[in-house]
Amino acid sequence: MPLVLYRKYRPQTFSEIVGQEHVVQTLTNAISSGMISHAYLFSGPRGSGKTTIARLLAKSVNCSGRKEGTAEPCNKCSSCLEIMGNRSLDLIEIDAASHRGIDEIRELRDGIKFAPVKSKHKVFIIDESHQLTKEAANALLKTLEEPPSHAIFVLATTEIHKMIPTIISRCQRFDFRKLTVPEIVKKLEMICEKEEVKVEKPALEL
């Protein structure tokens, strides 16, 4: 079954990311130097690349084929392939919009005690993290205050003003900006060229 286009052309390396140069530069510098934080907070509008970059971070820190002093994942080792195929047991993605309660966070806290199955790090991506209940957010805060060395958290939000300040202060924060029309058009032109679809540029700007 053919892949839908957004999955087929989802960036698999940091160099493929459109926009967010400041985020990419800071993260790749941290990865290449081994200065990884235990918790990140990605804030910005929908479609700005928060989840994509979170998955790239998870892939890069666990990549066994990554060259020393670089940040780009090899996309060939077993860890990279499992993450790309959504089969990794060490990448846990939680949608706080539908799993926002204390029970889910307690389950996460219980699971985080165990070492990664195959990888160096166990990475937790919590999307729409501002939708966690107050009780769940406070439970998460306790985990962020004393995380095990193998755990990395990436919290993503479109409404950072709804998050409790103590969680924000425990994370390294990155503010994502809305992509510009020229950036979007350039990406669409690349996709159309690879898919051998002819389209006039004004149509892409609609």
Per-residue pLDDT for 184 more than 60?
Answer: yes
Q: Which of 25-29, 130-134, 200-204 has the lowest mean pLDDT?
A: 200-204
Q: What tokens appear for 122 in the block?
A: 């166990």
Cα–Cα distance measured from residue 151 to residue 119, given in angstroms and rounded to the nearest whole number: 11
pLDDT digits (tens, 9 = 90+) for 36-48: 999 999 999 998 9
Distances (CA, A) of 58 to 139, 165, 178, 198: 23, 25, 23, 36
Per-residue pLDDT for 1 more than 50?
Answer: no
**Superfamily of domain covering 5-178:** P-loop containing nucleotide triphosphate hydrolases (3.40.50.300)
Cα–Cα distance measured from residue 156 to residue 71, given in angstroms and rounded to the nearest whole number: 21
Which residue did the predictor score with more confidence, 28 or 112? 28
Residue 58, pLDDT score: 97
pLDDT digits (tens, 9 = 90+) for 90-147: 999 998 878 766 777 888 888 888 889 889 999 999 999 999 988 889 889 988 988 8
Distances (CA, A) of 124 to 141, 186, 195: 14, 32, 34
Q: Give the residue among 187, 196, 120, 129 at the shortest CA–CA distance from 151.
A: 120
Domain boundaries, the chain: 5-178
pLDDT digits (tens, 9 = 90+) for 65-96: 999 889 999 999 999 999 999 999 999 999 88
Full-model pTM: 0.88
